[in-house]
Amino acid sequence: MRAVIGLGNPGKAYENTRHNIGFIVLDRFAKLQKLNFNPEYNYLKSEGSIGSSDFILVKPTTFMNLSGLAAKNLLSNYEIPTEEMLVITDDIYLESGKLRIRRSGGDGGHNGLKSIIEHLETTNFPRLRFGIGDPAESTLSEYVLSPFSENELKIIDISVEKAVQLLEYFVAGGYKAMLDHFSKISSGGDVK
């Protein structure tokens, strides 16, 4: 079984904000798979399968800075190894819509990833970083909690579709399958 955790903040006020791109991708994937989210512990969960591969989708209800609590509960309740858990997160260091995948690594200044690393006591989990652009003239918190601009939405929508494809490959075949597909769909994307 594999797990995908989309990072974001719960509640209507945060629904379409940049910081919630993890939730946005999971919602699109769940809709495609005809799945619904239900509350469990400190997250919303949906389960499904692609072929013979079972998966769990998770949206933490702990707010971004405590995402690690949900990740720890998920992995211990379902006995999923960290290498089989993909985390989807926003990234201000990537231009809007750019995707980057990593097998492991640090938090990159992201509080949600920092919380997961602290609670799991490892950096050994794959992540899909989704570019939301540079805050430029806004404060960081104002920027990440704001919606995408009209100009960005077309690019974001295309990248959400690509991210959904990557999730399909991850849940069906793991990190290597996702990496192989990423190499095919990205033009000069960052991979490690």
- 65 annotated as a binding-site residue: yes
Among candidate residues 19, 110, 119, 181, the one labeled active-site is: 19
Under 8 Å between Cβ of 46 and 57: yes
- 78 annotated as a binding-site residue: no
Distance CA 92, CA 96 (A): 8
Residue 110 catalytic?
Answer: no
CA distances to 84, 136, 160 from 188, in Å: 26, 24, 18
66 CB-near residues (< 8 Å, 6+ apart): 60, 115
The secondary structure of residue 134, as a DSSP letter, is -
139 CB-near residues (< 8 Å, 6+ apart): none
132 CB-near residues (< 8 Å, 6+ apart): 18, 19, 21, 90, 91, 92, 94, 96, 144, 148
Under 8 Å between Cβ of 68 and 97: no
- 20 annotated as a binding-site residue: no
Annotated binding site for tRNA: 14, 63, 65, 111
Annotated binding-site residue numbers: 14, 63, 65, 111
Known catalytic residues are: 19
